[in-house]
């Protein structure tokens, strides 16, 4: 029970001549909010893509609940219990907020193609179930009024909420949030912080998040890893990270050549 | 098969392969920079042949007529991009593909209206159609000229791509269009050049086709275009060298399979399709195997 | 509750109209209605893979041909086949194939959807881009196969004297059924998944959707109904030849679904009527053109030039078509609870 829920073991990722990730290892314990931070281009989203199976690492392994899931296809990774959001919010543009969230419930709506076409009882039953669950999620995030609005019509902060709700609908154990606070004003960021804490508690989640905003990271994360040019330069508590020399110079360097 | 017939089919295959190669290059270059299958490209080949035909019928000397065909096709290719594709650069992919089909259909029907649907006899000058013989084989001289000229053209295209500023820009565009734009390069101008080169080559392919099978009709571009695209995929979409390799493989296959198994003659147009399916099943990146997410020419 | 009542009323009204029309309309009007209804079936199914799932395919003429040939062969009695096959003798299995009307057209549909399944593997595994080229080529291959296998298809001569069981009652009801099936798919998790694949395939995968499976479902469903439509076509026309199933058919369907709005089934219905009407109305363009007292002669092809320009203009300026990607019903729905 004390095993880490996620274990990144010696991951190296090379693209042609470029080494994006260099022998990275870290562990996330169940129930933690773990941060992955570092200057732009440090490889954070690349790690996410490796965990979710969008990329297969050149070397190394990803263990989830002690199972080797390295290179597992992205849609199968979701079944294992890992869900993610994207840096540049990727909601389904033609669909409403409700429909976006219902996509997350796709696996739970287990009726067959024929049952849908013939409108057999199981179709109605399962649709009702997932609608109810979707409504609950809408309430938790405070966006019930937008249920039937097209997803792109919402404010940026609300779109981010929809994206997280959609990921939550897949019933994950581990939630990967890629820069969830990006583009938000302080109010929205505070609200987001509250929501993340709440869903972690209510849904018994472990959260791995990528962020830039150090205040947000400080408030949220139990532990973090700092990356620079694909290598780990620090692992530990946020308070210690801020005063660490290597971390400071990495970020300062970022300001210089940004 | 004895040596004579083998040699004869070899040159026939080279000649046919050349035509496919010339047209395939245009497909592969446009796909490389725009990730678009330009359905209208095969019809550009038809346009080139018809413009040349029209010019010779009007009494213009053949060489000038060919030039008119090439320049005319290049212009139509550029116009196609400017009018139909450029406005849709940021639109969903499917919109571009639909528009390309629209252009293709438009050209086919326009030329049907202008020239009628019955095939026209294409009169090539004597120095291209003269039949010479080598031992027991009788060959039209075009069968030697076409591959030779094609290889020359290929050398020129590769020179442009690898030794000139524009060529480098084209290759960069295939690699990462966003970054190229950010570096201040006028992507639209480069794309225009790509269409110009591709269309000119297709027109030359069309003239070669017209010389070899001396009848042309407005629908001739469809099947040849389809096959040329299959050749481009076979060789590795995005790679000019691959387009040529694929073109020649297809040309040789068509000629030799039918020569060895005449009963398969009716199916020769289907070979390209089977190559396509095979490539997609076993090696989607084609023979020269470039992964287009890291695209290169 | 209100929705169910509304739907039942609409269905019953349509069925009554179909019965009435079959009984009272003259044969000319009926033939127009039959044409529209068959094209509606084809357009609705084409819309599923192209408009709803966003996979650009050019398959209809190929699958329609498969359905037409299977149905024709199943409907034709053995003696007729023996007499009709002029080039070579019909293959034994061709003589054995026999079925009643409804099973015959269903088998036509199933045959088409099985071919679709085969095509799915090379195409959907790799790049969706290639679907268009593969299906375009497929349409040509079907024609090549039909012409080169006279023992099975009577080659270029085609099949005639096909028993004509298809009347407006059959065709109209099947069109209605197709529309209902399509709506049932769209308003279900499968329709949502198809739209998600269209909108953002990577995000759909990231949410657990097996996009290969969804695309294949859509493709096979489209193929089934296109094959069904082909069977109806064969029975209605009583004569089929390989050249009938040319790219022109696919192009017309493409215009229809673009005009109606890619992804909108009710849009496709409306557009079918408009485009079929338009094709008839513009027929005069292909006849002798007399302008300012001068006879410019007949130039067949002008009509299609006009339609291609129309398509291009639509893509440039009115890409969303008449109903966008929503159904007619959605426009009457209240905004939110």
Question: Is C55's pLDDT higher than 90?
Answer: yes
- DSSP state for residue C51 in the 8-state scheme: I
CATH at A253 = 3.40.50.300
Q: Does A131 touch chain C (CB under 8 A)?
A: no
**A213 and A153 together in one domain:** no
C225, C40 contact by CB (below 8 A): no
Which comes out higher in pLDDT, residue A16 or C200? C200
Confidence of residue C333 (pLDDT cuts 50, 70, 90): low
Query: Measured between alpha carbons, how far is residue A23 from residues A8, A18, A62 in Å?
Result: 10, 14, 12
Q: C300 and B113: CB-CB below 8 Å?
A: yes
Q: Does C136 touch chain B (CB under 8 A)?
A: yes
Nearest CB neighbour to A95, from listed C199, C206, C336? C199
Handedness of CA B25, B29, B31, B36 (dihedral sign): negative
- C163-176 pLDDT, tens digit per residue, is 888 889 999 999 99
Select, from the ranges B139-143, C149-153, C261-265, C297-301, the one with the highest average predicted confidence (pLDDT).
Answer: C261-265
Q: What is the pLDDT of residue A221?
A: 92
**A164 and A97 together in one domain:** yes
Handedness of CA A191, A197, A198, A199 (dihedral sign): positive
Q: Does A99 touch chain C (CB under 8 A)?
A: yes
The domain containing residue A126 runs over which residues? 91-170
Q: What is the pLDDT of residue B292?
A: 52
Q: What is the pLDDT of residue C336?
A: 41
Q: What is the CB-side half-sphere exposure of residue C201 using CA atoms within 13 A?
A: 19
Helix (H) or strand (E) holding B50: helix B41-57
Buried b (16+ CB within 10 A) or exposed e, B76-88: bbbebbeebbeeb
Residue A41 lies in a domain: yes
| Chains linked to A by 3 or more Cβ pairs within 8 Å | C
In which residue ranges of chain A is pLDDT below 50? 257-258
**A242 and A197 together in one domain:** yes
Q: What is the pLDDT of residue B296?
A: 36
Sort out which chain A residues have CB atoms less than 8 A from C335's CB and list them: 148-149
Distance from CA of A113 to the nearest CA of C (A): 7
pTM reported for the whole predicted model: 0.92
Q: How many CB pairs under 8 A join B and C?
A: 116
Q: What is the pLDDT of residue B185?
A: 79
Distance of alpha carbon C128 from the chain centroid? 21
**A151 and A179 together in one domain:** no
Q: A117 and C195: CB-CB below 8 Å?
A: no
**A75 and A95 together in one domain:** no
Q: Which residues of C touch A (CB under 8 A)?
A: 181, 184-185, 188-190, 192-193, 195-196, 198-200, 202-211, 217, 263, 325, 333, 335-337
Q: Does B182 touch chain C (CB under 8 A)?
A: no
A170, A195, A230 — which closes off a domain?
A: A170
3-state SS of chain C: helix, strand, coil percent to 5? 75, 5, 20
Q: What is the pLDDT of residue B294?
A: 44
Distance of alpha carbon B57 from the chain centroid? 24
* CA dihedral of residues B282, B286, B289, B294 (deg, nearest 10): -100
Q: Does C308 touch chain B (CB under 8 A)?
A: yes
Sort out which chain B residues have CB atoms less than 8 A from C138's CB and list them: 273
Q: What is the pLDDT of residue B133?
A: 78
| Chains linked to C by 3 or more Cβ pairs within 8 Å | A, B
Q: Does B230 touch chain C (CB under 8 A)?
A: yes
Nearest CB neighbour to B95, from listed C299, C308, C319? C319
**A112 and A223 together in one domain:** no
How many other CB atoms are there within 10 angstroms of residue C309's CB atom?
Answer: 16
Distance from CA of C92 to the nearest CA of B (A): 22
A99, C192 contact by CB (below 8 A): yes
A112, A145, A170 — which closes off a domain?
A: A170
Q: B98 and C133: CB-CB below 8 Å?
A: no
Q: A94 and C189: CB-CB below 8 Å?
A: no
Distance from CA of B68 to the nearest CA of C (A): 24
A170, A187, A202 — which closes off a domain?
A: A170
Query: Measured between alpha carbons, how far is residue B149 from residues A7, B65, B69, B121, C239 in Å?
Result: 60, 17, 17, 23, 48
Q: Which of A182, A167, A208, A197 is nearest to A36 (CA)?
A: A208
Q: Does A113 touch chain C (CB under 8 A)?
A: yes
Q: What is the pLDDT of residue B1?
A: 65
Q: What is the pLDDT of residue C335?
A: 47
Q: Does A147 touch chain C (CB under 8 A)?
A: yes
Total residues found in chain B within this entry: 297
Residue A86 lies in a domain: no
Query: In a 3-state reduction of DSSP, which class is residue C129?
Result: coil
Q: What is the pLDDT of residue B263?
A: 86
In which residue ranges of chain B is pLDDT below 70? 1, 289-297
Domains of chain B, earliest start first: 3-294 (1.10.3470)
A158, A147 contact by CB (below 8 A): no
Q: What is the pLDDT of residue C184?
A: 96
Query: For chain C, which residues make up each domain, given as ranges?
Result: 2-246
Helix (H) or strand (E) holding A4: strand A4-15
Chain C CA closest to residue B111:
C301
How far apart (Å, rounded) are the C-alpha atoms in residues A92 and A154? Answer: 13
Sort out which chain B residues have CB atoms less than 8 A from C136's CB and list them: 39, 226
A80, A72 contact by CB (below 8 A): yes
Which comes out higher in pLDDT, residue B291 or C211? C211
Residue A217 lies in a domain: yes
Q: What is the pLDDT of residue A57?
A: 93
> Phi first, then psi: what are they for A244, rounded to 5°?
-75, 135
What total number of domains does chain A contain?
2
Q: What is the pLDDT of residue A1?
A: 58
Q: What is the pLDDT of residue A91?
A: 96
């Amino acid at each position: 029970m004390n095993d880490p829920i996620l274990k990144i073991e010696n991951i190296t990722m090379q693209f042609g001549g470029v080494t994006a990730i260099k022998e990275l290892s870290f562990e996330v314990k169940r129930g933690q909010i773990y941060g992955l931070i570092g200057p732009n281009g440090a490889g954070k989203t690349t790690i996410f893509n490796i965990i979710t199976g969008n990329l297969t690492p050149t070397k190394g392994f990803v263990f989830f609940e002690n199972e080797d899931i390295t290179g597992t296809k992205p849609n199968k990774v979701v079944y294992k219990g890992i869900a993610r959001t994207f840096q540049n919010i990727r909601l389904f543009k033609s669909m409403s907020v409700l429909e976006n969230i219902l996509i997350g419930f796709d696996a739970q709506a287990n009726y067959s193609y024929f049952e849908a076409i013939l409108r057999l009882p199981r179709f109605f039953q399962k649709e009702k179930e997932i609608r109810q669950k979707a409504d609950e999620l809408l309430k938790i995030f405070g966006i019930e009024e937008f249920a039937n609005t097209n997803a792109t019509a919402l404010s940026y902060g609300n779109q981010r909420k929809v994206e997280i709700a959609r990921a939550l609908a897949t019933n994950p154990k581990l939630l990967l949030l890629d820069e969830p606070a990006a583009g938000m004003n302080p109010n929205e960021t505070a609200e987001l912080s509250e929501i993340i804490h709440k869903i972690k508690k209510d849904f018994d989640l472990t959260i791995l998040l990528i962020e830039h905003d150090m205040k947000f990271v400080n408030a949220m994360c139990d532990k973090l890893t700092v990356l620079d040019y694909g290598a780990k330069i620090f692992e530990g508590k946020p308070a210690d990270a801020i005063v660490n020399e290597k971390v400071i110079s990495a970020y300062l360097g970022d300001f210089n050549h940004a | 098969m004895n040596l004579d017939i083998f040699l004869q089919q070899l040159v026939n295959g080279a000649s046919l392969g050349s035509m496919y190669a010339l047209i395939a290059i245009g497909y592969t270059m446009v796909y490389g920079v725009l990730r678009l299958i330009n359905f209208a490209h095969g019809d550009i080949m038809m346009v080139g042949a018809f413009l040349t035909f029209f010019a010779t019928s009007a009494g213009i000397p053949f060489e000038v007529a060919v030039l008119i065909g090439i320049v005319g096709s290049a212009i139509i290719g550029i116009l196609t991009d400017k009018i139909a594709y450029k406005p849709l650069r940021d639109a969903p992919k499917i919109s571009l593909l639909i528009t390309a089909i629209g252009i293709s259909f438009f050209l086919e029907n326009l030329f049907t209206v202008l020239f009628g649907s019955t095939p026209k006899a294409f009169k090539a000058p004597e120095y291209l159609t003269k039949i010479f013989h080598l031992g027991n084989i009788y060959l039209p001289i075009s069968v030697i000229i076409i591959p030779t000229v094609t290889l020359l053209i290929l050398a020129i295209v590769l020179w442009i791509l690898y030794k000139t500023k524009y060529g480098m820009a084209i290759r960069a565009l295939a690699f990462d269009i966003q970054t190229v734009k950010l570096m201040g390069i006028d992507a639209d101008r480069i794309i225009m050049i790509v269409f110009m080169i591709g269309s000119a080559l297709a027109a030359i392919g069309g003239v070669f086709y017209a010389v070899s099978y001396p009848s042309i009709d407005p629908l001739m571009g469809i099947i040849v275009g389809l096959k040329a695209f299959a050749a481009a995929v076979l060789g590795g979409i995005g790679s000019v060298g691959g387009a040529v390799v694929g073109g020649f493989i297809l040309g040789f296959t068509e000629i030799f399979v039918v020569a060895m198994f005449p009963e398969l003659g009716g199916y020769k147009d289907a070979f390209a399709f089977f190559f396509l399916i095979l490539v997609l099943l076993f090696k989607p990146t084609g023979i020269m195997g470039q992964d287009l997410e890291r695209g290169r020419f | 509750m209100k929705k169910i009542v509304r739907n039942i009323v609409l269905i019953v009204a349509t069925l009554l109209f179909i019965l009435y029309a079959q009984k009272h309309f003259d044969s000319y009007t009926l033939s127009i209605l039959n044409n529209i209804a068959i094209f509606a079936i084809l357009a609705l199914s084409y819309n599923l893979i192209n408009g709803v799932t966003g996979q650009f395919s050019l398959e209809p003429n190929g699958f329609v041909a498969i359905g037409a040939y299977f149905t024709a062969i199943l409907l034709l009695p053995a003696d007729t086949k023996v007499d009709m096959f002029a080039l070579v003798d019909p293959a034994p299995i061709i003589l054995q194939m026999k079925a009643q009307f409804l099973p015959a057209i269903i088998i036509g549909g199933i045959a088409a959807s099985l071919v679709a399944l085969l095509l799915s593997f090379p195409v959907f595994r790799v790049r969706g881009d290639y679907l268009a080229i593969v299906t375009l080529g497929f349409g040509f291959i079907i024609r090549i196969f039909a012409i080169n296998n006279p023992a099975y298809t009577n080659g270029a001569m085609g099949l005639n004297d096909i028993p004509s069981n298809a009347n407006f009652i059959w065709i109209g009801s099947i069109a209605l059924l197709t529309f209902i099936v399509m709506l049932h798919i769209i308003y279900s998790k499968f329709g949502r998944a198809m739209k998600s694949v269209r909108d953002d395939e990577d995000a759909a995968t990231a949410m657990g959707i097996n996009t290969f499976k969804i695309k294949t479902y859509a493709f096979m469903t489209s193929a089934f109904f296109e094959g069904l439509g082909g069977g109806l076509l064969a029975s209605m026309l009583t004569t089929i030849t390989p050249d009938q199933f040319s790219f022109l058919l696919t192009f017309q369907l493409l215009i229809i679904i673009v005009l109606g709005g890619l992804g909108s089934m009710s849009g496709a219905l409306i557009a079918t009527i408009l485009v079929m009407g338009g094709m008839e109305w513009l027929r005069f363009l292909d006849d002798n053109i007399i302008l300012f007292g001068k006879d410019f002669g007949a130039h067949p092809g002008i009509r299609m030039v006009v339609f291609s320009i129309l398509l291009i203009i639509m893509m440039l300026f009115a890409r969303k078509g008449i109903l966008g990607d929503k159904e007619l019903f959605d426009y009457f729905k209240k905004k939110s609870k």
